[in-house]
Amino acid sequence: MASGEFDLVIRGGTVVTSAGVMEADLAVSGEAIVAIGHKLGPGRREIDATDRYVLPGGVDPHCHIEQLSGGGIMNADTFETATRSAAFGGTTSVISFAAQHREMNLATVVKDYAALAAKGAVIDHAFHLMVANPDRQTIEHDLPALIRAGHRSVKVFMTYDRVQVQDEQLLDILLVSRQNGALVCVHAENHGLLKWMGERLVARGYTAPKYHAVSHPRAAEIEAIHRVIAFAEFIDQPVMIFHVSTAEGADVIRQARGRGVKIFAETCPHYLFQTMDDLDLPGLEGARMICSPPQRTASDQGALWQALELGDLQVISSDHAPYRMDETGKFSAGSRPNFKQIANGMPGLEMRLPLVFDALVSRAPAERRDENLMKFAEWTATAPARIYDLPKKGALAIGADADIAIWDPSRPVTLTDELHDNTGYNPFRGRSITGWPETVIQRGALLVENGQLHAKPGQGRLVLREAGPATQPTGRLAPEIDPARNFGAKLL
């Protein structure tokens, strides 16, 4: 290529592609990656990546932004603050929720969230359609139309009074998703068990934040994962199990995948790096770490890493769900709430990649470095892009969007409460990690450099999606659904 024809050349870094890890230059023209190789010609702009890792920008497919929670509380971030924080943490694409509550019209909800994102988002984004009002208008009209318009994933809660769907509603949603080409994402916990335990604990005076962990028994997750898998297998509709927290939950998924059920699953940094003991703090401090499902045990952490290694879990998302430690968030029910009254969720967009990088890459023996760099890219960028059908995202490849994070692998960082979101605290405060994404690029343009954001609110693009391979049913019909085996009844 003639001199100066590239817009940008990232020179001399360790480039992580799906094919392997190599010392190479990477060139960008316009918004796309156009070359990866040795001694590439000059660019109009050059970045020296000597001693740096060049990785795909992260894809975070589970974050709650500017959203009314399951408990009815508005979260702390706007699209601007959340996506700014994502960018500083090396993430260049998010999938957040267009969150319907009861009585809301789904089409209006999507329009409203898209307008908020268009005004504030600094990085590219897509939406999951969160359905909490599966009435005839939603099921027969709005949901099919919105899926076909490019919002190719649907989210349901099996718990939380305000947003929970009943079993028969879940079946409706699975079927509509099958007919129109969407993946169904599920918060899987048994509502009755949580309610029963929560009420008994509070009635007996066990009200401190740490009892939140006790009030969400592992059995609640295990039962709900079993149930949603049974339904998914029955309807033959692919599902994504959100935020798996227990070894047994991962086992149930492994068994289902083993018999050919089309199930995907994710876990999150707080299940990999925290335990229920992190909620056991003086006074109400443990409220910072209240999220659902709760953190579990060290042995679950080991099982979740193993499940990632085995491919039973494919994705590490943040489940960013930010609430401030004040009356707007965690303490919206007053200054002395019981654990049931404290908003569920914590910030995660900015810390997701640095925490996982530290664990997988910085702490790995030298001989495992390349393998672990590829796993890091796979679990945090490539797999979510593939599963949610963002074909230009999540990998460094010719023709892909030039969404790139350049990491300093030896930068030591002690985590403080200073993040770029609007939550005011960092659940991982005090931890020392190594490695940081120092330069972040979206579609060829600098997003973050030298600790500064170079982006305007609203510059992120809404990405509409096709019905990708993850949304396609297997074609194996349950006997009661199959007209060849159900006396000819046509049910799909």
Instruction: Find the shortest distance in angstroms from Cβ 43 to ligand URP.
Output: 42
Instruction: Find the shortest distance in angstroms from Cβ 185 to ligand URP.
Output: 9
d(CA 402, CA 124): 12
Residue 319 binds ligand URP, judged by CB under 6 A: yes
Residue 57 binds ligand URP, judged by CB under 6 A: no
> Based on CB atoms, which residue is closest to Zn ion, 278 or 319?
319
Instruction: Find the shortest distance in angstroms from Cβ 16 to ligand URP.
Output: 29
Of residues 227-286, those binding ligand URP (CB under 6 A): none
Instruction: Find the shortest distance in angstroms from Cβ 412 to ligand URP.
Output: 29
> Based on CB atoms, which residue is closest to ligand URP, 344 or 372?
344
Among Zn ion, ligand URP, none, what does residue 177 contact (CB within 5–8 Å per kind)? none
> Based on CB atoms, which residue is closest to ligand URP, 101 or 454?
101
> Based on CB atoms, which residue is closest to Zn ion, 117 or 377?
117
Among Zn ion, ligand URP, none, what does residue 348 contact (CB within 5–8 Å per kind)? none
- Site mask, ligand URP, residues 69-88, x = CB under 6 A? -x------------------
Of residues 172-231, those binding ligand URP (CB under 6 A): 187
d(CA 50, CA 75): 40
Site of interaction with Zn ion (CB under 5 A): 187, 319
Instruction: Find the shortest distance in angstroms from Cβ 57 to ligand URP.
Output: 23
Among ligand URP, Zn ion, none, what does residue 217 contact (CB within 5–8 Å per kind)? none
> Based on CB atoms, which residue is closest to ligand URP, 10 or 82?
82
Work out which of 321, 359, 373, 433 binds ligand URP, going by CB under 6 A. Answer: 321
Backbone phi, then psi, for 305, in 5-degree steps? -60, -40
By C-alpha distance, which of 165, 156, 204, 307 is closest to 246? Answer: 307
Residue 138 binds ligand URP, judged by CB under 6 A: no
Among Zn ion, ligand URP, none, what does residue 291 contact (CB within 5–8 Å per kind)? ligand URP
Size of site (CB under 6 A) for ligand URP: 9
> Based on CB atoms, which residue is closest to ligand URP, 321 or 441?
321
Instruction: Find the shortest distance in angstroms from Cβ 46 to ligand URP.
Output: 42
Among ligand URP, Zn ion, none, what does residue 58 contact (CB within 5–8 Å per kind)? none
> Based on CB atoms, which residue is closest to ligand URP, 221 or 236?
221
> Based on CB atoms, which residue is closest to ligand URP, 329 or 460?
329
d(CA 6, CA 289): 46
> Based on CB atoms, which residue is closest to ligand URP, 78 or 459?
78
Backbone phi, then psi, for 453, in 5-degree steps? -90, 130
Among Zn ion, ligand URP, none, what does residue 344 contact (CB within 5–8 Å per kind)? ligand URP
CB 57 within 8 A of CB 404: yes
**Quick one: CA dihedral 385, 389, 393, 398, positive or negative?**
positive
Residue 292 binds ligand URP, judged by CB under 6 A: yes
CB 123 within 8 A of CB 445: no
> Based on CB atoms, which residue is closest to ligand URP, 35 or 197?
197
d(CA 481, CA 490): 7
Residue 345 binds ligand URP, judged by CB under 6 A: yes
d(CA 147, CA 371): 36
Instruction: Find the shortest distance in angstroms from Cβ 375 to ligand URP.
Output: 24
Residue 344 binds ligand URP, judged by CB under 6 A: yes
By C-alpha distance, which of 214, 176, 179 is closest to 196? Answer: 214
Q: Interface residues with ligand URP (CB under 6 A)?
A: 64, 70, 187, 291-292, 319, 321, 344-345
